[in-house]
């Protein structure tokens, strides 16, 4: 999972994936979108972000989930 928009640096935010050049974690963006915040509102609230960087954060999160084995509930 590499993206020029996302960085993981153990000296910045303890290695939490962040939008490059910021201290804005990918998880913060995902939480905002999950809560109903629009991409335009996120960019307005965080002028250092672009819509492209927000989409990159969402893609990074999707890729991270896809790479993990998720537990499936047992059948009844």
Contact partners, residue 34, CB within 8 Å, separation at least 6: none
pLDDT in tens, 39-69: 999 999 999 999 999 999 999 999 988 876 6
DSSP for 20-55, written as a single string: TTS--BHHHHHHHHHTT--HHHHHHH-TT--HHHHH
CATH number at 7 reads: 1.10.10.10
- What is the structure's pLDDT at 1? 60
At 24 the three-state DSSP class reads: coil
- Tell me, yes or no, whether 33 lies in a domain: yes
Predicted pLDDT of residue 72:
63
Task: Give the count of domains, the chain.
Answer: 1
Q: Would you say residue 2 lies in a domain? A: yes
* pTM of this structure: 0.83
Q: Are 60 and 26 in contact, with CB atoms under 8 Å apart? A: yes
Q: Tens of pLDDT along 2-47? A: 788 999 999 999 999 999 999 999 999 999 999 999 999 999 999 9
| Residue 46 included in any domain | no
pLDDT for position 69? 63
Domain that holds residue 6: 1-37+54-66
Evaluate whether residue 45 is within a structural domain. Answer: no
Separation CA 33–CA 71 (nearest Å): 24
Kindly state whether residue 14 falls inside one of the protein's structural domains.
yes
């Amino acid at each position: 999972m590499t993206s020029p928009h996302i960085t993981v640096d153990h000296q910045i935010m303890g290695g939490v994936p962040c939008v490059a050049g910021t201290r804005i974690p990918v998880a913060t963006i995902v939480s905002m979108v999950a809560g109903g915040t629009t991409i335009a509102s996120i960019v307005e609230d965080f002028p250092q972000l672009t819509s492209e960087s927000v989409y990159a954060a969402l893609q990074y999160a999707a890729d991270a989930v896809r790479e993990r084995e998720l537990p499936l509930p047992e059948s009844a």
